[in-house]
Chain A
Amino acid sequence: MQMDTTVMNQATTKRRIGNFFKYVALIILAFIVIFPFVLGLWTSFLPSMDIAKGSLWGGHLTLHNYVTAFTQTKILRYLLNSLVISTLVMFAHLFFCSLGAYAFVFLDFKYRNLLFYIVLGTMMLPFEAEVIPNFTTVKMLGLLNHYSVMVIPFLTSAFGIFMLRQTFKQIPKDLKEAADVDGLSHWQFYWQVTLPYSKISLFTLAAYSFLGSWNQYLWPMLTTFSDHLRPVQDGLRQLQSEETFNDWGMVQASAAIVVIPTLIVLFFGQHYFKSGLNEGSVK
């Protein structure tokens, strides 16, 4: 009896020490991951004078940088631009990709497989390597320096079509046959059965498309010149490279304004992301 309890106590102490080191390691890792955020946020509350001198601790905190960012830059306009562009691209992807995927799964037509392989092929072609002719094309179409130039080339996505095709293929064939017997048109079956059946995939594609558009950088930089059209990524670049370069407090405040909404979404959506991911891996 006596022996047993000492052994048990030893085991508990050993586990406690092990846990202690685990927590230390976790805290160090968390610190590394989150430090650039914290530093950026912290400096956004410091007076510009202090930052310029490199004194990051001990000064007083101020909201002045945020006031400057909101009043003297177009950061809110940049955010709005990105929000509008990304939302449009997201809905366009949901619509055109699901229609395309439907055609590949439920419609019978000549050259279906050939067309599908062509669409797949486009997934391999990087947009970054095609900007030269694309620039000429949008110039010819008179789209330069216009909102539509950031939306029209991205209305559909080969990846989206491919992804939704995989999902639609899992819809039982019986459902389609039953719908045919009931006299449902393709449009009705698409709208009433296919889309509701694929909610999770549609949600994933929506997130993917929205973020992809939100992170666009090269294309808006090439095709738009007016400040009021700029999306956030290029807006931040502008703020950071302008004569305000030395006003780090204002730049950090702008970065914080851009990142905080996405962090909030992420924080509340993380449960969904994780379960969605697990579901994906089980499939």
Chain B
Amino acid sequence: MIDSLSPTKPTPKQPQAEEKLTAKVTSFELKKNDKYYAWLFLGPSILLLTVFVFFPMIRTFYLSLFLTDTFGNPTVFVGLKNYTTLLKSASYMASLKATGTYVIGVSVFTIVFGLLLAAMANQKLRGIGFFRTVFTATMGVSVSVSAVFWLFMFNPSIGILNQVIKSFGAKPIMWLTTPSWAMVAVIATTVWMHLGFTFLLFFGALQSVPKSLYDAADVAGASPRYQFWHITLPMISPTMFFVAVITLISGFKSFGLIDLMTAGGPTNATNLLVYRVYKDAFMNGNYAQASTEAIILAIIIAIITFIQFKLLAKRVNY
């Protein structure tokens, strides 16, 4: 800067300009190279996503327009007939209803309990760290471990729940073989499984609410309940919406827990959409119907994911 301003030293200017020029040339050459680097860097991912995500989606849609043989090969083109048949079938409607009950039940109770845990853990008390650790515990539990723990508790003869019920002199409940109780059982297990992660999300959200807001409310003499409804809830509503969306999506995809606990039973009471796809394809060999069900499931999940994505974009921006 000073060099270029001083008229006495004009000579160093030239090599500098030359340097800048070469730098520009190399950067231009690099830009030209970008194309090859793009292929190299992005190629593997694009290839994998094409083979294992795009192609199967299109193929599933294609299969849903046909009748299929037992090997899953298309035979007769039937257009959208598979869809109309499915949407008219009472058993599919029952599955749709069961799935709705399941995902909404899971979402609501996960939010309520997760928020309760977070609110309780977000207090200044001696030893609160212990409780915070305990509340995150279910994060380490996988689907099959949860199923083992809860199957044992729901066991009709030796399970702890029925032992407690019997000790009060009441009639034991056939948890997993009564349609409505089976739904309760899978919802309870799913909620428990989600609690650790949800707690952590809500806890993080509560901690990031500015203290000054509460201080101001205290000065104004607002009750704790008033503060919760008018400060805390609005401030954490983005997290709440986020939790709702991810529990909804994971609910629609919940396969393992259903397979382990009820296998879609009793009398199809927990035969959720995702479980139907598996059953129709790999147990009944009806690939056309299974593909149709898969497409409907994919559309539902895609819509919710789209909402989530919009939300995510909003979060990232601010």
Contact = CB atoms under 8 A, between A and B. Distances in A.
Interface stretch (A2-10, A25-33, A66-74, A195-203): A25-33
A36 interface: yes
A178 to B, nearest CB: 10
Q: In the complex, which range does the number of interface residues on chain A fall in?
A: 35 or more
Contacts of A112: 38
Contacts of B316: 166
Contact of B42 (A26, A99, A158, A270): A99
A122 B149 contact: no
Nearest to B281: A132
Contacts of B255: 128, 217-218
A133 interface: yes
Contact of A33 (B125, B195, B281): B195
Interface string B287-300: 10011001101100
A217 B143 contact: yes
Contacts of B144: 217, 232-234, 236-237, 240, 255, 258
A133 B301 contact: no
A122 B259 CA distance: 26
Contacts of B305: 123-124
B137 A180 contact: no
Contacts, number: 280
B66 interface: no
B60 A130 contact: yes
Contacts of B205: 281
A31 to B, nearest CB: 9
Given A39-B152, A107-B34, A132-B287, A181 B48 contact: no
Given A128-B253, A128-B255, A281-B208, A233 B45 contact: no
A159 to B, nearest CB: 10
B208 A133 contact: no
Contacts of B125: 19, 22-23, 26
B141 to A, nearest CB: 6
Contacts of A135: 282
Interface string B238-256: 0000000000010011011
Contact of A232 (B116, B142, B281): B142
A37 B149 CA distance: 7
Interface stretch (B25-33, B103-111, B179-187, B214-222): B25-33
B45 A119 contact: yes
A96 B44 contact: yes
Nearest to B255: A218
A175 interface: no
Chain B CB within 10 A, most for which of A97, A109, A130, A186: A130
Interface in A255-274: 255, 258-259, 262-263, 265-267, 270, 273-274
A120 to B, nearest CB: 7
B153 A273 contact: no
Interface in A5-62: 19, 22-23, 25-26, 29-30, 33-34, 36-37, 39-40, 43, 51-54, 56
A19 B55 CA distance: 59
A148 interface: no
Contact of A130 (B30, B53, B123, B157): B53
A282 interface: yes
B45 A99 contact: yes
B36 to A, nearest CB: 9
Given A128-B255, A237-B260, A266-B140, A278 B30 contact: no
A191 to B, nearest CB: 12
Interface string B121-149: 10101001001111111111111111111
Nearest to B142: A215
Given A36-B153, A270-B136, A133 B282 contact: no
Contacts of A233: 142-144, 256
A135 B71 CA distance: 11
A266 B137 contact: yes
B102 interface: no
28 contacts: A19-B125, A22-B125, A33-B135, A103-B38, A109-B38, A118-B54, A119-B49, A123-B305, A125-B301, A130-B56, A132-B281, A133-B60, A137-B55, A177-B27, A180-B26, A180-B30, A186-B41, A190-B41, A217-B144, A233-B142, A237-B259, A237-B260, A255-B145, A266-B139, A266-B140, A270-B132, A278-B204, A281-B205
Interface of A: 19, 22-23, 25-26, 29-30, 33-34, 36-37, 39-40, 43, 51-54, 56, 96-97, 99-100, 102-104, 107-110, 112, 115, 118-120, 122-137, 153, 155-156, 158, 161, 166, 177, 180-181, 183, 185-187, 190, 214-215, 217-218, 221-222, 232-234, 236-237, 240, 248, 251-252, 254-255, 258-259, 262-263, 265-267, 270, 273-274, 277-278, 280-282
Given A126-B253, A129-B297, 15 more contacts: A40-B152, A102-B41, A103-B42, A108-B34, A122-B49, A129-B294, A132-B281, A136-B72, A158-B49, A180-B23, A215-B143, A217-B144, A233-B143, A236-B144, A278-B204
